[in-house]
Each structure stands twice: as structure tokens, then as C-alpha cells.
A and B are shown apart, each in its own frame.
Chain A
Amino acid sequence: MSTLNLTLKIWRQAGPEAEGKIETRKAQNIPIEASFLEMLDIVNQQIIETGGDPIHFDHDCREGICGMCSLTINGVPHSKEVGTTTCQVHMRKFNDGDTIFIEPFRANAFPVLKDLVTDRTAFDRIIASGGYIDVRTGSAPDANSVPIPKEQADWAFDAATCIGCGACVASCKNSSAMLFVSAKAAHLNSLPQGQPEKDKRVLSMVRQMDAEGFGNCTNQYECEAACPKLISADNIAKLNRDFAIASVKEAVAMV
């Protein structure tokens, strides 16, 4: 089995109020088949053995679907690999002797809790503000009563694959959450079921996003490049249009 010896430059921060700093560590004998998080597991076992405090990072499914893992790897959220979450990055993509920088997802709206762990609950509050279709359990009509053209369903699906990880925010120099918000808007607004609440949804979600302290989108589209689910920035343009229309309707008191 081939192995790697690496130098890690890792962000360490004891708590939300503590000052953080970059710590340098050796990671030795890392099997190339290991995942990036398994590499950190190995390092953590060594830290524990020598009486230190292990590196804290969020993770759960380790399959690229729950959105819990984060990490900015060599300056890029989820690493420079396209369409990949941190938990799916494997060490075979690195070379022996590499130095790797590992930092949290940085944004004012995502405060650091410890080391690489951040608080991303702002995303939940954005969804709560309107990212849903209000349908009481038990009141739904037969699922096949409204046929939806496959193309339209596929488009909604592409937007719905967002895992709520926040890499889009971390990659944006303004810390804008537009890709995340526009993905949810596109998912629900493009389906017939989502029409009745469309205007309200767009207005509430955008306003909640602003209230949470996310920055403005200046159309740089770093987000699209960092997104592990390849959510398209076209959704942002669509959201801007929908928001403009909804605002006008609101101004003339139609919403």
C-alpha cells in the first residue's frame, strides 16, 4: 500500500470567542486510499495518543449528501476538485511531501464554534422564512393528478440537489448566499405546486438572507465553481428576475 507524508497547516480555535491561529502538523504514513477525513482521523488518533486536543471538524454521512462536512482546503471550499464534497476527496489526489492548508468555511454569517466547526444555522432560518410548499399532511391530491413534463421536473431536480453546505458562501468574497437561496427558489418555483406561494417565497427568503448578514451578489460566480452539487448560477439570474417582479407586485399591494 503506498502512503504519503504531508505537512498540514490547520486552523485551530478553542472556542467562539477565542483567537484562532494556524498550527503546523505532520501527517505521516497516510494510505492513498484513505479519504481526506480519514486522513484527519489518523492525525487525530496520533494527537490523542500524545495527550493533545484533536482537531474538531463537522462530518456525518461521509458520502457527499448530508452537507455536514465543510473545510476550506488550500483556499478552496471542499478542495479544488470539481463537484466534490470534502468527505469524498481522497488522498490519492495528493502527492507525497505536499503542504495542505485546512481552514473553516469563512463568512460573518457562519461564526466559528471550534477549530473547523462553524455555525450554519442561518441557512435553516432562510428555509423557514419561505423555502417550502405549505401543504397540510393528508390534504394532498393523487400524485399523478398533475403531470409535470420531464424536462421541467429535471430542472427542478437539478436545483433541489443542493445539500446546504455553505461552500457557495465561503467561496464568495462578499459571502453572499445567493446560490443557496436561488437553488431553493428554483426548485420550488419551477413546479406547478410551488406557484401559489412563489412571490411570497422569493421576497421572504431574500429578506431573511439579508437579515442574516450575508453579502450582496456581484456576479463573480465563484460559488458555482465551489458548489459540490454543481448548482448552476443561472438560478441566480432567475431569482433576481422573480424578486423584481414580486417586489413590483408588492409595491402595488398585490402580495
Chain B
Amino acid sequence: MSINANIPEGPMADKWTNHKMNSKLINPANKRKFNIIVVGSGLAGASAAATLSELGYKVKCFCYQDSPRRAHSIAAQGGINAAKNYQNDGDSVQRLFYDTVKGGDFRSREANVRRLAEVSVNIIDQATAQGVPFAREYGGLLANRSFGGAQVSRTFYARGQTGQQLLIGAYQALEKEIQKGGVEMYTRTEMLDLVVVDGHAKGIVVRDMRTGKVSSYAADTVLLATGGYGNVFYLSTNAMGCNASAAVKAWKRGAYFANPCYTQIHPTCIPVSGEYQSKLTLMSESLRNDGRIWAPKSPDDAAAIRAGKKQASDIPEEDRDYYLERKYPAFGNLAPRDISSRAAKEACDEGRGVAKTGLGVYLDFRDAIDRLGEDAIRARYGNLFQMYEKIAGENPYKQPMMIYPAVHYTMGGLWVDYNLMSNLPGLHVLGEANFSDHGANRLGASALMQGLADGYFVIPTTVANYLATQKPGSVTTDHPEFAKVEKEVTDTIDKLMNVRGTRSVDYFHREMGLLTWDVCGMDRRKEGLEEGIAKIKELRAAFWDDVRIPGAANGINMELEKAMRVADFLEFAELLYIDALNREESCGGHFRGEYQFTSESPEVIAGKTQAGEALRDDENFCYVAAWEFTGVGEEPTLHKEELEYEDIKLAIRSYA
């Protein structure tokens, strides 16, 4: 299969305009004849389903929760970027484009990012018109805040619930279209496989999670907007149900999986407290607008804090190390996520961690409270402070928060071209599930932007380029391929139910998570990854040999649901390690311990960067790694999309 990104001709700034002009149009009468399946109802899926239905297409939308409003996008806290320049602080489409490419450590596709920056402004208009209650200033105009990796204020927000408000806007648009008859919604319905007919994605096989019934749906094209794969680490800030199954199934049916090793560790999460823990909670990056991150300078002070003999307030100013402000004076506490996370790990590795486990640093609001008063801080972050207090049992207005990095977002995903279409024709991928816009590291407040850009503004134009080549309704579920895939799905379910082993699904999920964090977390190395590949094969074999799934396959069975997701993760984890092993450089969220600047590096001596920073290898790795499935446990085939930078000059990514 070919790997052609289909980037439009012309100067960077004109590509999207030109592409829209040159894209195929489908007349309104014909649109009604085309069926589109949208899997996922998060920001990307809901916005796409609603907009495609408005255009006249017939849409079927699926989600595993009981309502589309509960998709994981709901949990996004901090905000959404847009190049509105309402603050008149020098922002522009070009600057957002540049910041995003640089933030992604020069590993994203320029043309896609440029388009993202362009449509960002329309998203804010659209959401506001839907009634999304963005924060406002006293004059009645929209307010902004700053996020990491930017020196302008371009983040729009709705208290600490931006994702919730944007998703409810998209959800309401979706429900409106359901009411008008353009969308059929299937809730508590999980996609278990993709059906490919004559080399084109033409349908899905699903399981009704209430009854256990397995059935098929056919369409002219299939859109996956199924979110990220962060739960391969078991503990992450993702919702419990987030999974990679739809993407893994598509991969196994021929869609390439791109850059799985680009995973994002978020610097400010509530630290792990015990083995029973089921998930980690994010403390929004927006807190870094007012909070200062520090660890004690001396390991002795840190040990005293861990032993409960000292408190944060006992450490005098001169004994505190505000390490981000020290190392990255230009960005300070707003240094990007990958860099801030590694810096926290470094402090803890030096024995300066303050949580009981040794894995935690402070996020301190003392100075902001002194400057602005407790009420002002409450107005900005009240719900986050409350959430912290509930989980940690400590009052963050009095004592600094304790935070530590945790898995949060996945930049990798299914490979797509400029039209958001996979190499597998007919399959389109949107939102966190695709790989396209964030390179090796995503900047804060850019995922919501990308999900909504894809759903509201990109796919409604680009899907026509594929559909125009297809005869509507040419494939139905009568095609024998559907029965075949359905049988494969029910066989897998039977096989799982019949293992009747001794260990629970959670046991395997936790083991996989620990292993993944160990070998493919914040510091990856060759030996570890090789060991990980061997161990994950063993764990996968043990799973199929010894997993215990109680109950029956008909009716609600949440252990079975989890087991199917974990089975897919166990195959995916191997690909993740292989990609991390292949990429012999450090970039963004992918940090290979062997590849970092040292005090001897000429760039460090010249003052361009610092020892310990990620060392990219543009000569050999300035490409997208798109992996083709060749069999479970088999070495996948690597396809390279070379990245060419026309507009932005490749440079050392410096925030000093």
C-alpha cells in the first residue's frame, strides 16, 4: 500500500484554501444517499457526526458509554487554543502554527498544523454561537489565559471545565441532528472490528453491551474518532474505559499505525498513593499560570518532609529550588510538558522528591495568594483545588499541592493523509486517534482544538474527496465479509470466556502498565525496550492461558468488555516498544536516555541548549514511522513518510 500524504500544492498559507477549492463537491440530493459510520462521540466524533448530518449525509454514530455526552473529552480542564489575537499581544495564525510545530519538536506534518492554526479561530465562533459559556471579562468580551510553550495568551477556557462545555456544545448539536433524523445514535455499543471489502473500509462489527448481541453495520465510509491509547500504561489521567481497540483492529486490517512511541507524560498530576489505585488525576496546566513548581535544594530537607518531620512552609526561600524558573527563565513555570516532566523526574531521582513515595514535587500558590488574595485564586481554579482536596485530603490554599508526572495523552495514532484518510481507503481517523498534528509532543489546549477542527471543519470538506469516487450503498451487510468478521469476533469472545483461568483482567492490565511505564515511560533505553518486547509476549501468552472472566457473554459483562480491550492493548504494547526502539533519537515525549546533550556537546558549550535535553537526529529520523501489521508477535513493516519543512526552519527546540 502506498503512503502519500496528499499535501496540496502551493505556498503553505494557501494550501488549505486551495484544497477546499479543489476538493470534490457532492450535490445535496446525492449526499442523502451516502451512509457514514462515525465511531466515537467525543469532541471529534460528535462534531463530525453533527456537521455531516447537517450537510445531508446519513450518519450512524457509536459510543461505548450510555450517552454521547460522557466521552472522555468531557474531562479536559484547562482550555482550547485559537489564534484570535483578542489580547492584541502579537498572536497570529502563523505564530500558533510555529509554536505547535516547535512544541512538537519538529516531528509533525507542517501542512496539517498550518490548517489547524487557520481553522482554530472558527472553532471559537462556532462554540460561542452554540452557547458554550467561555470565561469573559467584565466588559463582556472573551477572556484568555496562557498555556505551556507559548508566550502569548491565546487559550480560551470555561473555568476548569473547558472540555465539558465544548463537548456539551457538540453533544447538543449531535442530539439536534438525532432529533432531525440525520443521525442514528448507538450508545453502549462497542466496535469490535473493522470490515474491509475489496481493500476499502466499508463497515464495522459491534457488540451491544446490554444484550451481548454481535451485529454488523455497513457504510460508504468509516470514521474512527475513538480517542487515545494512554491506558496501555494502566494508570493514566484517561477515563477508565479509554482504549485502543478500534485503532488496533483497524491496524490489523491494514491501516498503518504511526509514531506510537510519542506519548505524553503530563507534569502536574496527583501522585500515586497505593496499589489499589485505578487512575490518576490531572491538575490542569493552567495552574502553572499562578503556581510555582519547586523541590527542596537539599535531599535532607526532602527526606525530612517525607518522614513528616518538616512541612513545605518550614523550608526557607533560599533552600527552595524553583527548577523550571532556574533552567528555563524565558518560559519558567510554563515550560512545555515533556520538559517539565523530565525536570520533575530529575529532581526526584536526585532524592529531592517530597511525596511519601519519593515521587512528588510542589506546585505552590503561596505567592499568588499573597499577591491576589485567596478569592481571586478560588475564582480561577476553585474546582481544581476542590478536586485536589477530595483526593489528597489536604487543603491546597494552606499547603502547596504535591504533583508528579503521569501519562496523559498520545500523539501517535493511525496514520492519515491531509484528507484525514488512512492508507486503507475509506477509513478516516479524527481527533486523538490519528497521529497528524502534534508531532512528538502536544502543547496544552491543542487537543480540543484539533478534535474540533477535524470534526467541524476538516472532515466535512475532505470526506467528499473519497465519497465522490464511490457508488453510494454499493456494499451492504449481505456481503460475505461481514458474516466472516462477525464469526471471528464471536470466536474471540468464546475463546476468552472459555479460558476459565485464575487471574483477573485487572491483574494483566496492571502488569502491562507497570512494564510499559518501566521500559517505555519517561526515560527509554535499548536494553529495557528489548527486554520489554520479550516480556510482553510472555504476558500476552499468560493472559490467553490464565485470564478469568466470570459470568456469560450475553448480557452486560464488564469483565468481558475489559478483557477484550486488554487483549488488544497487549498486542499494541509490543508495537509501542518496537517503535520506541527503532527511533534512535530523543524528541518531545520520546526520550531515549542514550540520546541527550551532554556538557561536552558543542551546542551546550555554545549556550544554545543544556546538558540533559533531548537530542534529535534530523539526519536519520525526520520521518513519520508508519507501521504495517504482519501478524501477532511478528515484526511489523516500517513505512517512512519523510517530513519536509518548507516554512519553518528545523532548529534546536530551546525554551531557555
Chains A and B are bound partners: yes
Which residues does A use to contact B, with CB under 8 Å?
A: 1, 14-15, 31, 33-35, 37-38, 41-42, 45, 47-49, 51-54, 56, 58-68, 83-84, 88, 90, 92, 113-114, 117, 119-121, 123-124, 127-129, 131-144, 147-150, 153, 156-157, 160-161, 163-164, 187-188, 191, 193-194
Q: List 26 A-B contacts (CB under 8 A).
A: A35-B278, A38-B277, A47-B550, A48-B548, A60-B70, A65-B75, A68-B65, A68-B70, A117-B556, A127-B69, A128-B178, A128-B179, A137-B50, A137-B126, A137-B173, A137-B456, A138-B457, A140-B125, A141-B125, A150-B140, A153-B135, A153-B140, A157-B158, A164-B69, A193-B129, A193-B131
Q: Are A63 and B161 neighbours in the complex by a CB distance under 8 Å?
A: no
**Does B559 sit within 8 A of A, measured CB to CB?**
yes
Q: Are A144 and B142 neighbours in the complex by a CB distance under 8 Å?
A: yes
Instruction: Determine the chain A residues whose CB is within 8 A of the CB of B164 once the complex forms.
Output: 65, 161, 163
Asked if A160 meets B165 with Cβ closer than 8 Å, knowing A132-B172, A142-B125, A150-B140, the reply is yes
Asked if A56 meets B558 with Cβ closer than 8 Å, knowing A38-B276, A61-B72, A121-B67, the reply is yes
A147 to B143, CA, bound (A): 11
A38 to B280, CA, bound (A): 12
With A48-B504, A88-B390 given, can you name 10 additional A-B contacts, CB distance below 8 Å? A33-B274, A48-B559, A51-B550, A66-B75, A124-B67, A133-B131, A140-B129, A143-B134, A149-B136, A157-B158
Instruction: Determine the chain A residues whose CB is within 8 A of the CB of B277 once the complex forms.
Output: 34, 38
Instruction: Please name the 3 residue pairs, one residue from A and one from B, whose CB atoms are nearest each other, closest first.
Output: A147-B140, A132-B172, A140-B129
Q: Are A121 and B187 neighbours in the complex by a CB distance under 8 Å?
A: yes
Q: Are B390 and A90 neighbours in the complex by a CB distance under 8 Å?
A: yes
Q: Are B133 and A160 neighbours in the complex by a CB distance under 8 Å?
A: yes
CB distance from B275 to the nearest CB of A (A): 9
Asked if A193 meets B457 with Cβ closer than 8 Å, knowing A33-B274, A124-B69, A147-B141, the reply is no
A160 to B158, CA, bound (A): 10
Q: Are A150 and B137 neighbours in the complex by a CB distance under 8 Å?
A: yes
Q: Are B51 and A60 neighbours in the complex by a CB distance under 8 Å?
A: no
Instruction: Determine the chain B residues whose CB is within 8 A of the CB of A45 once the complex forms.
Output: 504, 506
Asked if A120 meets B66 with Cβ closer than 8 Å, knowing A143-B128, A160-B133, the reply is yes
A148 to B139, CA, bound (A): 8
Instruction: Determine the chain A residues whose CB is within 8 A of the CB of B84 once the complex forms.
Output: 143-144
Q: Are A119 and B142 neighbours in the complex by a CB distance under 8 Å?
A: no
Q: Are B278 and A138 neighbours in the complex by a CB distance under 8 Å?
A: no
Count, chain B residues at interface, CB 8 A: 77
A67 to B71, CA, bound (A): 10
**Does B253 sit within 8 A of A, measured CB to CB?**
no
Instruction: Determine the chain B residues whose CB is within 8 A of the CB of A193 once the complex forms.
Output: 128-131
A188 to B172, CA, bound (A): 11
**Does B499 sit within 8 A of A, measured CB to CB?**
no
A188 to B168, CA, bound (A): 12
Q: Are A156 and B139 neighbours in the complex by a CB distance under 8 Å?
A: no
Q: Are B393 and A90 neighbours in the complex by a CB distance under 8 Å?
A: yes
Q: Are A120 and B72 neighbours in the complex by a CB distance under 8 Å?
A: no
A184 to B175, CA, bound (A): 14
Q: List the B residue with the shortest CB-CB distance to A136.
A: B54
**Does B460 sit within 8 A of A, measured CB to CB?**
yes
Q: Are B139 and A53 neighbours in the complex by a CB distance under 8 Å?
A: no
Asked if A131 meets B175 with Cβ closer than 8 Å, knowing A157-B159, A191-B133, the reply is yes
A194 to B129, CA, bound (A): 9
Q: Are A141 and B131 neighbours in the complex by a CB distance under 8 Å?
A: no
Asked if A62 meets B387 with Cβ closer than 8 Å, knowing A1-B274, A53-B550, A141-B125, the reply is no
A8 to B334, CA, bound (A): 46
Instruction: Determine the chain B residues whose CB is within 8 A of the CB of A150 once the complex forms.
Output: 136-138, 140
Q: Are A60 and B550 neighbours in the complex by a CB distance under 8 Å?
A: no
Asked if A124 meets B68 with Cβ closer than 8 Å, knowing A38-B278, A131-B175, A143-B142, the reply is yes
**Does B239 sit within 8 A of A, measured CB to CB?**
yes
Instruction: Determine the chain A residues whose CB is within 8 A of the CB of B187 once the complex forms.
Output: 121, 124
Instruction: Determine the chain B residues whose CB is within 8 A of the CB of A135 once the complex forms.
Output: 126, 129-130, 173
Instruction: Determine the chain B residues whose CB is within 8 A of the CB of A119 once the complex forms.
Output: 66
**Does B21 sit within 8 A of A, measured CB to CB?**
no
Q: Are A61 and B122 neighbours in the complex by a CB distance under 8 Å?
A: no
Q: Are B129 and A133 neighbours in the complex by a CB distance under 8 Å?
A: yes
Q: Are B240 and A59 neighbours in the complex by a CB distance under 8 Å?
A: yes
Q: List the B residue with the shortest CB-CB distance to A15.
A: B555
A129 to B178, CA, bound (A): 9
Q: Are B276 and A41 neighbours in the complex by a CB distance under 8 Å?
A: yes
Instruction: Determine the chain A residues whose CB is within 8 A of the CB of B128 once the complex forms.
Output: 140, 143, 193
Q: List the B residue with the shortest CB-CB distance to A139.
A: B129
Q: Are B175 and A124 neighbours in the complex by a CB distance under 8 Å?
A: yes
**Does B464 sit within 8 A of A, measured CB to CB?**
no
CB distance from B11 to the nearest CB of A (A): 24
With beta carbons under 8 angstroms apart, the residue of A42, A53, A60 that contacts B240 is A60
CB distance from A129 to the nearest CB of B (A): 7
CB distance from B335 to the nearest CB of A (A): 25
CB distance from A86 to the nearest CB of B (A): 12
A63 to B161, CA, bound (A): 11
- Provide the B379-405 mask, 1 if CB < 8 A to any CB of A, else 0: 000000011001101000000000000
Instruction: Determine the chain A residues whose CB is within 8 A of the CB of B68 once the complex forms.
Output: 124
Q: Are A54 and B67 neighbours in the complex by a CB distance under 8 Å?
A: no
With beta carbons under 8 angstroms apart, the residue of B139, B279, B387 that contacts A88 is B387
